[in-house]
C-alpha cells in the first residue's frame, strides 16, 4: 500500500531523512516511533503529498508521488497536529464541507454514520468551539475518514488529550481501523502504540533502523525495544555507527 525507497529530505544544509526505506502492506497498522526531531512529521507529510522529497521514490495506493498527488489524496485520510476544523461551524457543517470537497455520495447518511463511528451522535448540531479537545479530535478523525479512505496517516493523535479522551480515541481508532484500513501512526505514547499497532518502526538518524512486528515484542516490551533501538545508535556507545 505504501512504499518509500531511498527517501532523502533536506531543509537547506540539514538532512532530516537520509535514505529512508519503508514498506507497508494492506491492513497493517504501523506505529512510527522516534525521538523528537527525528523526522516523523516530515515523513508523514511527504506520504500525504504535502511536502516533496529531495530525492527518492514514493508510492501510495499504487500511485507515484508527487506526480499523482490528486489520486493519492482521494485514498488518504490525514490527521495532523492541527485539527483542520472550523470552530464556528457545527460538527455536521464541518463534515459537510469536507465531504463536498471529496464529492462524497449520499453525504447526509455518511455524516450520520461517521458521527456515530466517532461517538458524536447527538452533538452534530453543536458548534465545534463548544466541543472539548477530545471531541474535536474525534471529529477530526471523522473528517479524515469522511471519504472512506483506504489509508490513514495519524500524527500524534493523542497529544493534548486527557485519560478519558484518550480512552475514547482508542475505541474510535479500533473501530476505524477494524474496517480494514492501512494505518501509519506516530506516537510518543508507547502503551497505546503497543495496544493498537501490528508493527513498530523506529525512525532515528533519518532512517528506519529498527522494526518489529507485534508478535516479536512481548507484552509490555515495547518500551524496552524502543530504548534499545534508539540507544544503540547514540554516539559513544558500543555498536554505535554514525551515518
Ligand X SMILES: Nc1ncnc2c1ncn2[C@@H]1O[C@H](COP(=O)(O)OP(=O)(O)O)[C@@H](O)[C@H]1O
Return the number of the residue (68 or 211) whose C-beta is nearest ligand X.
211
Check: CB of residue 152 under 8 Å from CB of residue 177: yes
Contact partner at residue 11 from Mg ion, ligand X, none, CB < 5 to 8 Å by partner kind: ligand X
Residue 188: CB minimum distance to ligand X, A: 9
Nearest approach, Cβ of residue 156 and Mg ion (Å): 6
- Which residue number, 37 or 219, has a Cβ lying nearer to ligand X? 37
Q: How far is the CB of 12 from ligand X (least distance, A)?
A: 7
Instruction: Give 22 or 98: the residue with its C-beta nearer to ligand X.
Output: 22
Nearer to ligand X among residue 11 and residue 219 (C-beta) = 11
| Dist CA 186 CA 91 (whole Å) | 26
Query: Closest CB to ligand X among 38 and 183?
Result: 38
Pick what 199 binds: Mg ion, ligand X, none; C-beta below 5 to 8 Å, kind-dependent.
Answer: none
Q: Where does this chain bind Mg ion (CB under 5 A)?
A: 40-41
Residue ranges that bind ligand X, judged by CB under 6 A: 11, 16, 34, 36-42
Minimum CB–partner distance for residue 32 and ligand X (Å) = 9
**Least distance in Å: CB of 14 to ligand X?**
6
Amino acid at each position: 500500500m505504501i512504499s518509500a525507497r531511498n527517501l532523502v529530505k533536506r531543509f537547506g544544509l540539514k538532512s532530516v531523512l537520509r535514505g529512508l526505506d519503508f514498506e507497508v502492506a494492506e491492513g497493517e497498522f504501523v506505529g512510527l516511533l522516534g525521538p523528537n526531531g527525528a523526522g516523523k512529521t516530515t515523513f508523514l507529510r511527504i506520504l500525504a503529498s504535502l511536502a516533496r522529497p529531495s530525492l527518492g521514490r514514493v508510492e501510495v495506493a499504487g500511485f507515484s508521488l508527487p506526480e499523482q498527488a490528486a489520486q493519492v489524496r482521494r485514498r488518504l485520510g490525514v490527521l495532523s497536529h492541527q485539527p483542520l476544523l472550523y470552530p464556528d461551524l457545527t460538527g455536521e457543517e464541518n463534515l459537510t464541507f469536507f465531504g463536498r470537497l471529496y464529492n462524497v455520495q449520499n453525504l447526509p447518511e455518511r455524516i450520520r454514520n461517521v458521527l456515530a463511528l466517532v461517538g458524536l451522535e447527538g452533538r452534530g448540531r453543536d458548534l465545534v468551539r463548544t466541543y472539548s479537545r477530545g471531541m474535536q479530535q474525534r471529529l477530526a478523525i471523522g473528517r479524515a475518514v469522511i471519504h472512506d479512505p483506504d489509508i490513514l496517516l495519524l500524527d500524534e493523535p493523542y497529544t493534548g488529550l486527557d485519560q478519558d479522551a484518550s480512552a475514547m480515541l482508542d475505541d474510535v481508532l479500533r473501530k476505524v481501523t477494524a474496517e480494514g484500513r492501512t494505518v501509519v501512526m506516530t506516537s510518543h505514547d508507547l502503551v497505546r502504540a503497543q495496544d493498537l499497532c501490528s508493527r513498530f518502526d523506529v525512525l532515528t538518524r533519518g532512517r528506519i533502523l529498527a522494526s518489529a512486528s507485534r508478535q516479536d515484542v512481548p507484552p509490555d516490551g515495547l518500551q524496552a525495544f524502543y530504548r534499545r533501538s534508539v540507544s544503540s545508535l547514540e554516539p559513544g556507545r558500543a555498536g554505535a555507527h554514525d551515518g
